[in-house]
Chains A and B, each alone.
Chain A
Amino acid sequence: MDWMASLHGLAGGVLIGLSATWLMATLGRIAGISGIVGNLITQRGPKGDSAWRVAFLLGLISGPLVIMALGGGLGNVAGNPGGVIGAPVGGVGLMLVAGLLVGVGTGLGSGCTSGHGVCGLARLAPRSMAATGMFLLTALVTVYISRHLLGLGGGA
């Protein structure tokens, strides 16, 4: 096992947890990316509700850029210790389909890996536990079918 990669994972996870705690402590909001960004784009919310969402979005994009600027191997790209942002595992066609599924799915399911998987599990919310179990299950099955039965993607 690659302990360095795991340690990076743990450290990054703690940072994500601090982000979720901070957002709840200051603005009283769940740190769910599909909710924060999705509502920013699709809704005309009450006045004053979009500025923090735009700011969050800019912060989210600038995080990896800061790590790149700092250098020193702080990223954790598989097989490329100095890398920060990895390459997509599929071409444009596959990603068009995947994006639609992720958008419709997180929209209908009211959350993604962050809203349900991190914040929801931390709140011990039954809906989030069910959603997290479900998306993990279909993701595992999808990867099994695409990689081992159809031989697609990622050079596995």
Chain B
Amino acid sequence: MAEPMRIRAKMENNAADVKVLMSHPMETGQRKNEKGDLVPVHFIQSVTAIHNGKTVLDAQWSQAISRNPFLGFRVRGAKAGDKITVNWVDTQGDKGSIDTTVVA
């Protein structure tokens, strides 16, 4: 599934500063649609970040993370040219992934 994502990784104070924006409804399960039916609960449950093949961040989320989730984290010891990958999985098993190269 090709849910759009945005990522940026930039060196700052000897660490890669990574910012990620995911496109996801993060449905709480209580919102009603135009027809008045409840929209089923549907949110990103886990997010992992990988730096040059090694997991650096493993996050567990609830539906309290905002719609179109934002995630910022920092990887010490990273350098320009390194690869950062971010993957997510939601409550319906849908997945998203994006990678980028750290810039100086």
A and B are partners in one complex rather than unrelated chains: no
Residues of A within 8 A of B (CB): none
